[in-house]
């Protein structure tokens, strides 16, 4: 995935009054953390006034986090290792939730510390809603025995993020889209 495609994915998640303040390709150099969705260590990151957004190269999906809710988000400079962004949204620590991203863009690496320093005072997102469409997806071979050959995912109509799904006949609708953080509402029958 190139920078243009990654930026396009991020731009679909933005709110009307939100802009990208920093954007960079990164590589997760912490191999201890389990990888559930992406099988590639390569990501794109963006910071806005209110959110930290990641796009996995393998999945092509955005996931966003409200800045004040992130437990660990800090840039550390290593003498020979370059700039590393330590990111742990829930504060679980090494081996469970910590990602250590090597930042590839020097301009973004310089801008990030000041952008995330006051993240606890980041403005709240305006309340917006989105709906979803149902998409049938083929399960990865290693999960087919657990969840079946196919599953139904609910995808955001605004950003194509995850809004829930149907697993083993059980329907789950997330309160918010994982990509854009908009509140999820049920679609009208014509949208499904």
Confidence band for 25, pLDDT divided at 50, 70 and 90: very high
3-121: what fold? PH-domain like (2.30.29)
Confidence band of 30 (pLDDT split at 50, 70, 90): confident
What is the residue extent of each domain of the chain?
Answer: 3-121, 129-184
Instruction: For residues 174 and 183, give the distance between their C-alpha atoms in angstroms, rounded to a whole number.
Output: 8
Q: For residues 162 and 179, is the Cβ–Cβ distance under 8 A?
A: yes
For the segment 87-99, the average pLDDT, to the nearest whole number, is 79
- What's the pLDDT tens digit per position in 67-87? 999 999 999 887 666 889 999
pLDDT recorded at residue 47: 96
Strand order from edge to edge, sheet including 20-28: 62-66, 51-56, 42-48, 20-28, 99-103, 82-88, 72-78
CB-neighbour burial class of residue 98 (10 A; exposed 0-12, middle 13-18, buried 19+): buried
Q: What is the mean pLDDT of the chain?
A: 86
123 and 179 in contact (C-beta within 8 Å)?
no
Across the range 18-24, mean pLDDT stands at: 95
Burial class (CB in 10 A: 0-12, 13-18, 19+), 145: exposed
pLDDT tens across 148-188, in order?
677 889 999 999 999 999 877 889 999 999 999 999 999 87
């Amino acid at each position: 995935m190139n920078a243009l495609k990654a930026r396009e994915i991020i731009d679909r998640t933005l709110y009307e009054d939100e802009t990208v303040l920093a954007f960079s390709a990164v590589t997760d150099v912490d191999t201890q953390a389990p990888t559930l969705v992406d099988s590639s260590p390569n990501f794109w990151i963006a910071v806005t006034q209110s959110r930290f957004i990641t796009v996995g190269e393998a999945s092509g999906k955005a996931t966003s986090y409200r800045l004040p809710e992130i437990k660990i988000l800090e840039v550390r400079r290593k003498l020979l290792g370059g700039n590393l962004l330590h990111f742990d949204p829930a504060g679980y620590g090494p081996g469970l939730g910590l990602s250590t991203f090597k930042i590839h863009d020097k301009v973004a690496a310089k801008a990030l510390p000041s952008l995330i320093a006051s993240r606890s005072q980041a403005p709240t997102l305006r309340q917006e809603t989105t709906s979803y469409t149902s998409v049938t997806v083929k399960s990865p071979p290693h999960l087919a025995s657990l969840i079946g050959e196919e599953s139904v995912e609910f995808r955001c109509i605004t950003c194509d993020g995850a809004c829930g799904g149907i697993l083993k006949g059980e329907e789950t609708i997330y309160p918010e889209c994982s990509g854009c953080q908009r509140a999820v509402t049920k679609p009208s029958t014509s949208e499904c």
